Amino acid sequence: MAYIYMEDGGKCLLIGEEMAIWEKPLSGDPFGPYKNPAQNLDAVYFHSKNDYYAEAASANVPVAHAAYPASAPSVWATDPLNLITVTIYPTTYTVSRVLLTHNLGYVPKFLIGDEDYNELPASAPIQYANNQEGGSRFVRHYATNTQIVQVEYVVPGMGPMSALSKTYRIVVFRKPEAVPGKPVFQAKGSVLIAGRGKIDYSEKHLRLALPGETAFNMPTGPVYDINNGQVRYVRSGGFWIESVTVRGATVVRYNGSLTDVPYISVVA
Amino acid sequence: MASEFSFKSGRVLMKDGSRTVLDTDAKSFNAVPSGTITLTSFVLSFPDFNNKSYQYLWGRASIPGDPFDRAYEICRSLAKVNPEETTLPNIDLGVLPPGTDFLETRINFTRTTSPPSTWGSITPSQPGLYVWPSEIIQGQWMQLIGNSMIVERGDNWARSADIIISGGHAILRRKQTVGNLGFVTGQVEAKENIASSFSSPVLREGDGNHCSFGNTNNYATAYTGTIEITPCSYNN
């Protein structure tokens, strides 16, 4: 088995049965990250045993979220003399829409962000009207064998919800599989392949952004906190939106301490 | 388009034309397939709210036109949940490879234990009108970006779950909160009484025949399904 080994500026590259690029350890086995990448993850830049997130499909999808009227009051309980009447405002709206059709035939991993490239959590609040008994709009997303689907859920409460225009940026990743028959490394003509196709020159891969690149803001820690019955969702830059509960003249607010969340800039 | 591979000055760079494919100055997300934690039949649960009570409503009035000058009296006790801030015990989801600094997580859950539907009644028995809310799309794969999610929420209450890296393990944290003033979910009991206007009220809070105070609704909730956590590294 022929090996190619190069070392420069503390980086090591070895192409053999596997291919790896790693930071040379300050002590111990200098080939440790090549031999056992799972135990030296922070030293490894690339290893053919690791997986990479390669883009299979992407789209920027504008969505016009509709305006909704205030919920119609519903008398839940009354009595012959109208001594006690219990009125609720129960109307909700659920709208499903396909954001992207990928037809991969399996359920892929994906990321989704808003028009400002803020990645959105599993159930993201996108609008709070602060109405009594409601006033909130969320979007939730899931993947199937063929599609990325958005489910919009609106609770108007006692006030109306205004229309809202958003753009959703979606990236769908293919299964990070090696391709049988492809070499562990190939640089021939315009073809450039590493790790039997896990990195392919023709694909985009999820990585940290370089200065000047348009990048997603990806949270690396929990983006939600709940307190006093309310939800605070913190986006990059310490900007947050939060729910409130309105009961007549009383407003119940979040009293927790989440003000910032670590984010990194990534491209795919 | 010409591709390029270079290794100089401590930087490995693969490019396709002007597009960067792989660059040690902008590390790719390295996922460790052998370290993936897949938990099937996992139960994500939240207990009953720990401070339940009631809101008492009562009214009495003469029945208009009644030849016997009788009075109509009614009581309703509504099922209420009082404020709480509860942090539930952490759950260890598994060991992570050393150097893991990012978790790529997705879930597929179905609710298997649900609180009662809202706006029903315990006595007289009356089913609720509205299914207890959930932020989880049942039986579908949701990507857990940020590794945190609101599991359930309503007006003045919420339940959350998130997964963090701690001590080389993936740890599930859960919280539930009910805000100041609490919230009402339906009815505990309703009663009415028709009596001589000269009779003393019997349905007021504290009277001998008052509506029940016991909110026996169980608001515990649970979801069963799969959590799939892929450990990654983006940092050196």
- What pLDDT digit, counting tens, does each position of A80-139 carry? 999 999 999 999 999 999 999 999 999 999 999 999 999 999 889 999 999 999 999 999
Q: Does A106 touch chain B (CB under 8 A)?
A: no
Tokens coding B13: 């760079």
Percent of chain B with pLDDT over 90: 92
Whether A250 and B20 lie within 8 Å, measured CB to CB:
no
Q: Does A148 touch chain B (CB under 8 A)?
A: no
Min Cα separation A52/chain B (Å): 6
- What pLDDT digit, counting tens, does each position of B106-137 carry? 999 999 999 999 999 999 999 999 999 999 99
Q: Which of B23, B5, B34 has the alpha carbon at shortest distance from A45?
A: B23
- What pLDDT digit, counting tens, does each position of B12-21 carry? 998 888 889 8
- The interface residues of chain B toward chain A in range 203-232, judged by CB-CB distance below 8 A, are 230-231
Q: A16-25, A181-190, A243-252, B108-117 — which one is most confidently predicted on average?
A: B108-117
Whether A84 and B76 lie within 8 Å, measured CB to CB:
yes
Rounded Cα gap, residues B174 and B151, in angstroms: 10
Q: What is the pTM of this model?
A: 0.94
Q: Does A135 touch chain B (CB under 8 A)?
A: no
Domain count, chain B: 2
Query: Rounded to an integer, what is the distance from CA A146 to the centroid of its chain?
Result: 18
Tokens coding A104: 């991969």
Strand A123-131 to A134-143 pairing: antiparallel
Rounded Cα gap, residues A215 and A116, in angstroms: 9
Under DSSP, the state recorded for A32 is: H
- What pLDDT digit, counting tens, does each position of B152-202 carry? 999 999 999 999 999 999 999 999 999 999 999 999 999 999 999 888 999
Whether A229 and B83 lie within 8 Å, measured CB to CB:
yes
Rounded Cα gap, residues A49 and A32, in angstroms: 14
Q: Does B100 touch chain A (CB under 8 A)?
A: yes
Tokens coding B39: 């938990």
Tokens coding A125: 């609040």
Would you call A180 helix, strand, or coil by DSSP? coil
Question: What is the helix (H) or strand (E) element at residue A35, kind and residue range?
Answer: helix A32-35
Rounded Cα gap, residues B236 and B26, in angstroms: 10
Beta bridge partners of A8: A11
Please give the mean pLDDT across all residues of chain B. Answer: 95
Q: Amino acid letter at A127?
A: Q
Rounded Cα gap, residues A141 and A129, in angstroms: 22
Residue with tokens 């001998």: B208
Report the residue of A226, A227, A233, A242 to disrupt the B interface, i.e. the one with the largest count of B CBs within 10 Å: A226
Strand B121-123 to B183-196 pairing: parallel
Whether B150 and A190 lie within 8 Å, measured CB to CB:
no
Q: What is the mean pLDDT of residues B40-44?
A: 98
Q: What is the mean pLDDT of residues B47-67?
A: 96
Residues in B touching A133 (Cβ below 8 Å): 155
User: B13 lies in which domain range?
Assistant: 1-27
Q: Residues B137, B225: one domain?
A: yes
Q: Residues B115, B174: one domain?
A: yes
pLDDT range class, residue B47, cuts 50, 70, 90? very high
Close Cβ partners of A181 (under 8 Å, ≥ 6 residues apart): none
Residue A189 has pLDDT above 80, yes or no: no
Min Cα separation B235/chain A (Å): 6
Residues in B touching A106 (Cβ below 8 Å): none
Q: Residues B110, B219: one domain?
A: yes
Picking from B3, B4, B76, the nearest residue to A77 by CB comes out as: B76
Q: Amino acid letter at B8?
A: K
Q: Residues B204, B144: one domain?
A: yes
Residue B141 has pLDDT above 70, yes or no: yes
Give the ipTM: 0.94
Whether A224 and B149 lie within 8 Å, measured CB to CB:
yes
Please give the mean pLDDT across all residues of chain A. Answer: 94
Whether A121 and B144 lie within 8 Å, measured CB to CB:
yes
Rounded Cα gap, residues A42 and B100, in angstroms: 7
Q: Does A221 touch chain B (CB under 8 A)?
A: yes
Q: Residues B155, B218: one domain?
A: yes
Percent of chain A with pLDDT over 70: 100
Whether A223 and B119 lie within 8 Å, measured CB to CB:
no
Residue with tokens 């993850």: A41
Picking from A11, A52, A138, the nearest residue to B29 by CB comes out as: A52
Q: Which of B220, B50, B39 has the alpha carbon at shortest distance from B144?
A: B39
Q: Residues B47, B107: one domain?
A: yes
DSSP string, A53-119: -BEEEEEEEEEEEPPBPPPPPEEEE--TT-SS-EEE----EEEEEEEEE---SS--EEEEE-TT-BB
Tell me if B174 sits within 8 A of B46, measured CB to CB: yes
Residues in A touching B28 (Cβ below 8 Å): 45-46, 52-53, 199, 205-207
Task: Report the Cα–Cα distance between both ends of chain A, in Å, rounded.
Answer: 34
Q: Residues B162, B115: one domain?
A: yes
Close Cβ partners of A1 (under 8 Å, ≥ 6 residues apart): A16, A17
